[in-house]
Chain A
Amino acid sequence: MPALLKVENLRIELNTRDGISPVIDNLSLELYPGETLSFVGESGCGKSMTALAIMGLLPDKVGRVAGGRILFNGENLATASNERLNEIRGNDISMIFQEPMTSLNPVYSIGEQIAEVLRRHQALSNKAAWSKAIELLDAVRIPDPQSRVSDYPHQMSGGQRQRVMIAIALACEPKILIADEPTTALDVTVQAQIFDLMRDLGRQSGSAIILITHDMGAVAEMAEHMIVMYAGRKAESGPVQKVIESPRHPYTQGLINCVPHLLAELTEERPQLAEIDGIVPSLKDFGRDECLFASRCEFADTLCRSQRPPGFDFGDDQIAACWRAGEIH
């Protein structure tokens, strides 16, 4: 089966006050139909930039694809025209944003906002688009969709708004759904509902999902493959189960161990949480030929500080970009 989306050696540069920084540096990935791939990392590691690049939504004049290709069904999106991207966006590839509160237009009813996509991409009539909007609201389990369809965003709760966003994103049955922190602003019980919904819809329509998150639990529950990003580079990638159970990159280990996970059987014992000292380096340091995690890493030695580590293969597709990954378990 050919890959639906293939990113090859992608490099994205941003103009900053200190010059040009590679916010995405040599990223490659493959996404197959029906698969869920997850991007994990702290803020400022380039997770959202990758999503924006795939959507062709990099900020004008500030960011650009400086190298590599983004192949969607064999077509390079990095060089596609704006007209062509407009056809693809919201149709073949759509995106759910983090903030359900601010990403809907407050002056249009939600039915209008769903119908707009259908009219634009599928050339449906007003009436047909409106009744499809009701169907979609029903599919994302908004109760009483007949009357809710003419509601405005402020009349809905956060979870309902995010479901409306999903309805818009799924309106044209996209081949790829990019979800950028879709549940960060929501409560856990609502998050569980949204995840169920995304899983069901993915299964029914066979679309592939790219899930961007910082929550390892969400990754474990939703994705088959994961990519851990650090400072614009791939730190570790591989099958979710394997990476979580035996991470090779110290950053992946840190990300897993620094969060107090809910335990199945709780005991009196309360060990200190693992800390990752320091913060993500500033953009001006991103291009350096060294391991960018070295300044926060307890295992770092002179090699780490003088040469960028290549990806080392640990079998089953698990690849870690760390000089000392072989010694770390």
Chain B
Amino acid sequence: MSLSAENTPDNSTINHSTEPLLKVENLTVRFSVNRKGLFGKKEYLYAVDDVSFDLNRGETVGIVGESGSGKTTTALAIARLVNAHAGKVTMHGEDFLALEDEDLRRARARCQFIFQDPYSSLNPRLRAEAVVREPLDSLTTLSEAEKRESIDRLFAEVGLRHEQQRLFPHQFSGGQRQRIGIARALATRPDLIICDEPVSALDVAVQAQILNLLRKLQHDFGLTYLFISHDLGVVQHMCDKIAVMYMGKIVEYGDRLSLFNNPQHPYTKALLSAVPAVYRRRGESTERISIPGDPPDQITKPAGCRFANRCPMSMDVCTEDQPELTNITGSHRAACFLTQ
């Protein structure tokens, strides 16, 4: 079986159903950490703990959280760049985590990744055109002429000039390098693109160019994005639905308007209030909720809510039981006893 890069979503039968493009169920990723010497008991750090969400075609779902919250690990596990310990990832109705060999190769062509650091994610020894060609060589069976044509088109789509194809990565600016990364991700015409902090390594003025480009491409090709970021302003601008993660768990999930206008979880509220306000109006209307300290040690999982020790509204029950992610209104869900 071969996959053509021209294989638009309409050719597939599964895609016409209303089923979500990507379904993540109870995804868990753990890393083993040996703490007590050579013969000590093996302990595990649960970087992602029982995470579930859906991603519909053409939508952008954002995962936001601080460093160590597990947002990048979630993305890596979905793309099978780290191994999941438990859980299920269904893409196009197939169990993506169970695929092997040829099936996996075919599926990988439909799910591509844009990395955070445009400096280290491009091979310095390859010319820009070779960087973009790599996924075409390894994941598709296009003829040489078709590949040539694809590369030309991709460069035009991401706003790079034709003669820049011959240059090496170090000859590009950060923003241009990220454009090469985007062209590489688009090469196999995937349905799903996972963007892991795509603009956080870029200068402010260049960020806007890349964010506008990502939205234009989404509009033109009906792309679906899983968008990982720590920048709440960027997430608010880019995403239709947002999952807020804290210590490996989703603590709140909701659509853009509902989550930002009416945040429910104390962590989400604290996170939003910590962002400095540029305009006086927002500065005056938001009350600062400060959360002291750092997240607790991730290896010894607390029995109750993971946020309880920093939460300004913590109650007795919070240190004893784990709150489940429960519906508030519509698709808006929060894992907090206060909202239940």
User: Footprint of B on A, CB under 8 Å?
Assistant: 42-43, 141, 143, 157-160, 187-193, 195-196, 214-218, 220-222, 241, 244-245, 254-256, 258-268, 270, 272-277, 279
Q: Do the beta carbons of A221 and B283 come within 8 Å of each other?
A: yes
Q: Which residues of A contact B271 (CB under 8 A)?
A: 188-189
Q: Which residue of B lies closest to A186 (CB)?
A: B67
* Stretch in contact with the other chain, from B1-9, B32-40, B207-215, B316-324: B207-215
Q: Do the beta carbons of A221 and B277 come within 8 Å of each other?
A: yes
B286 interfacial by beta-carbon distance below 8 Å: yes
What are 10 inter-chain pairs, A to B, with CB distance below 8 A? A143-B293, A192-B276, A220-B280, A244-B278, A259-B207, A261-B278, A262-B232, A264-B285, A273-B211, A276-B205
**Contact residue among A217, A265, A279 (Cβ-Cβ distance under 8 Å from B277):** A217
Q: Which residues of B contact A265 (CB under 8 A)?
A: 261
B330 interfacial by beta-carbon distance below 8 Å: no
Smallest distance from the beta carbon of B282 to chain A beta carbons, Å? 4
Knowing A188-B66, A192-B290, A273-B237 are in contact, say whether A262-B277 is a contact too (CB < 8 A).
yes
Smallest distance from the beta carbon of A162 to chain B beta carbons, Å? 12
Q: Do the beta carbons of B208 and A259 come within 8 Å of each other?
A: yes
Q: Do the beta carbons of B205 and A255 come within 8 Å of each other?
A: yes
Q: Do the beta carbons of A256 and B232 come within 8 Å of each other?
A: no
Knowing A159-B294, A263-B236, A272-B212 are in contact, say whether A188-B282 is a contact too (CB < 8 A).
no
Q: Do the beta carbons of B292 and A193 come within 8 Å of each other?
A: yes
Q: Do the beta carbons of A276 and B208 come within 8 Å of each other?
A: yes
Q: Which of A42, A193, A255, A266 has the most CB of B within 10 A?
A: A266
* Bound Cα distance from A195 to B288, whole angstroms: 12
* Bound Cα distance from A274 to B211, whole angstroms: 10
* Bound Cα distance from A245 to B277, whole angstroms: 13
Q: Which residues of B contact A188 (CB under 8 A)?
A: 66, 230, 232, 271, 274-275
Knowing A43-B203, A188-B66, A188-B230 are in contact, say whether A220-B276 is a contact too (CB < 8 A).
yes
B272 interfacial by beta-carbon distance below 8 Å: yes
* Bound Cα distance from A248 to B136, whole angstroms: 48
> Which of B222-276 touch A at CB < 8 Å?
230, 232-234, 236-238, 256-257, 260-261, 270-276
Knowing A160-B294, A259-B207 are in contact, say whether A268-B212 is a contact too (CB < 8 A).
no
Q: Please encode chain B, from 277 to 311, with 1 for each CB lying within 8 Å of some chain A CB and 0 for all others.
A: 11111110110101111100000000000000000
Q: Which residues of A contact B257 (CB under 8 A)?
A: 266-268
> Which of B169-213 touch A at CB < 8 Å?
173, 175, 203-209, 211-212
Q: Is the interface of B mostly helix, strand, loop or mixed?
A: helix
Q: Is the interface of A mostly helix, strand, loop or mixed?
A: loop
* Bound Cα distance from A102 to B274, whole angstroms: 25
Q: Do the beta carbons of A275 and B209 come within 8 Å of each other?
A: yes
Q: Which residues of A contact B256 (CB under 8 A)?
A: 266
Q: Which residues of B contact A191 (CB under 8 A)?
A: 274, 276
Task: Please give 13 more A-B residue pairs, beta carbons under 8 A apart, in addition to A157-B294, A215-B204, A254-B205.
Answer: A42-B203, A141-B292, A187-B67, A193-B292, A217-B277, A255-B205, A258-B204, A260-B234, A261-B233, A262-B233, A264-B282, A266-B236, A272-B215
Q: Do the beta carbons of A218 and B205 come within 8 Å of each other?
A: no
* Bound Cα distance from A259 to B288, whole angstroms: 22
Knowing A189-B66, A217-B275, A220-B278 are in contact, say whether A262-B208 is a contact too (CB < 8 A).
no
Q: Do the beta carbons of B203 and A215 come within 8 Å of each other?
A: no
Q: Which residues of A contact B283 (CB under 8 A)?
A: 220-221
Q: Do the beta carbons of B205 and A258 come within 8 Å of each other?
A: yes
Q: Which residue of A lies closest to B272 (CB)?
A: A262
Smallest distance from the beta carbon of B227 to chain A beta carbons, Å? 12
Q: Which residue of A lies closest to B232 (CB)?
A: A262
* Bound Cα distance from A202 to B81, whole angstroms: 46
* Bound Cα distance from A214 to B211, whole angstroms: 18
Knowing A188-B66, A262-B236 are in contact, say whether A42-B204 is a contact too (CB < 8 A).
yes
Smallest distance from the beta carbon of A41 to chain B beta carbons, Å? 9
Q: Which residue of B lies closest to A159 (CB)?
A: B294
Q: Which residue of A lies closest to B293 (CB)?
A: A143
Smallest distance from the beta carbon of A183 to chain B beta carbons, Å? 10
Q: Do the beta carbons of B204 and A220 come within 8 Å of each other?
A: no
* Bound Cα distance from A244 to B280, whole angstroms: 10
Q: Do the beta carbons of B66 and A260 come within 8 Å of each other?
A: no
Smallest distance from the beta carbon of A298 to chain B beta carbons, Å? 14
Q: Which of B175, B238, B282, B290 has the most CB of A within 10 A?
A: B282
Q: Do the beta carbons of A260 and B276 come within 8 Å of each other?
A: no
Q: Do the beta carbons of B279 and A266 come within 8 Å of each other?
A: no
Q: Which residues of B contact A273 (CB under 8 A)?
A: 208, 211-212, 237
Knowing A159-B294, A275-B212, A276-B208 are in contact, say whether A262-B282 is a contact too (CB < 8 A).
yes
Q: Which residues of B contact A245 (CB under 8 A)?
A: 279-280
Q: Do the beta carbons of B276 and A259 come within 8 Å of each other?
A: no
**Minimum-distance CB pairs A-B, first 6:** A217-B276, A260-B237, A258-B208, A187-B66, A192-B274, A273-B208
Q: Which residue of A lies closest to B256 (CB)?
A: A266
Smallest distance from the beta carbon of B289 to chain A beta carbons, Å? 9
Q: Which residues of A contact B278 (CB under 8 A)?
A: 216-217, 220, 244, 256, 259, 261
* Bound Cα distance from A188 to B272, whole angstroms: 9
Q: Do the beta carbons of B204 and A259 come within 8 Å of each other?
A: yes
Smallest distance from the beta carbon of B64 to chain A beta carbons, Å? 10
